[in-house]
Amino acid sequence: MLALVGGDEFNPGNEEQDRLLAGAAGRGPAFVVPTAAARQKPSQSVTHAIAWFRQFHLDLQELPVLKRSDANSEVLAERARAGGFFYLVGGDPGLVARVLRGSAVWKAIFEAWRDGAALAGSSAGAMALCSHTLVMATWPHHFNRRPIDALGVVPMTAVLPHYNTFGKRWIESAQAAAPDLDLLGVDERSAAVWDGREWRAAGPGDVTFIKGSKVICVASGARVPGLRVPARMLPQQ
């Protein structure tokens, strides 16, 4: 299972997708990955995640990947390869890609997911799981975004997180900078969930698929048309 969450993770409203994720966890340890929050008190994200997932009878532990040397640690990669659940928290949209892309730990996470582990990312974590993540193009214009290469699980796609609050304001700049990319707007506390066969929306908000001038908005339980099938081979990085 793969889930792209729109943000405000580990809070009430996320129960639907997080129950699905916990139920889909494979054998082995369950990890929260705080990379995106490395500059924003990552320990708080870890503590919050551990407390939240207890209600779903899932005991999380931290996979402490905060910098590039962590991501290339063979010890951490070995731990990750045995994992059955991974949740990439929100934070800095570019940091996850810069730290994890092409690393030993990311290779291990991807292979564990391909072999049956559950994988999720919220906000910056969800952005990083796609082929491209959208970073600020010019300071201080927060809504002017440009794509950089990310982890590549969902091909030719970029996530617009927090879509119901500010993410929709990224559409114009993202389409101008990368007109060939599909865009996926995900409301806070909501998710696009891949169950191995198809993508469906989950949570109290909507999921919006954008391709050029075509915009398709779907609510919880509905299939997300157009969103690409996740990769089964790790893209060259």
Distance of CA 34 to the CA centre of its chain: 12
Which structural domains are found in the chain, ordered by start? 2-218 (3.40.50.880)
Task: State the pTM of this model.
Answer: 0.95
pLDDT category, 233, cuts 50, 70, 90? confident
The DSSP symbol for 235 reads: P
Proportion of the chain above pLDDT 90, given as a percent: 90
pLDDT mean over 57-64: 98
Predicted confidence at residue 144, as pLDDT, reads 81
Residue 96: both structure tokens together:
């996850």
Distance of CA 4 to the CA centre of its chain: 5
Is the pLDDT at 141 greater than 70, yes or no?
no
Residue-wise pLDDT tens digits, 79-137? 999 999 999 999 998 999 999 999 999 999 999 999 999 999 999 999 999 999 999 87
Residue-wise pLDDT tens digits, 172-195? 999 999 999 999 999 999 999 999
**Given the DSSP bridges, would you call strands 214-218 and 207-211 parallel, antiparallel or unpaired?**
antiparallel
Predicted confidence at residue 93, as pLDDT, reads 86
The answer to whether the beta carbons of residues 33 and 86 sit under 8 Å apart is yes
Is the pLDDT at 140 greater than 80, yes or no?
no
Q: Is 224 exposed, middle or buried (0-12, 13-18, 19+ CB in 10 A)?
A: buried
The mean predicted confidence, pLDDT, of the chain is 95
Residue 229: both structure tokens together:
């099938």
Residue 132: both structure tokens together:
């491209």
pLDDT mean over 129-158: 89
Residue 18: both structure tokens together:
């997080």
Q: Which of 203, 196, 233, 235 is nearest to 218 (CA)?
A: 203
Residue-wise pLDDT tens digits, 11-42? 999 999 999 999 999 999 999 999 999 888 89
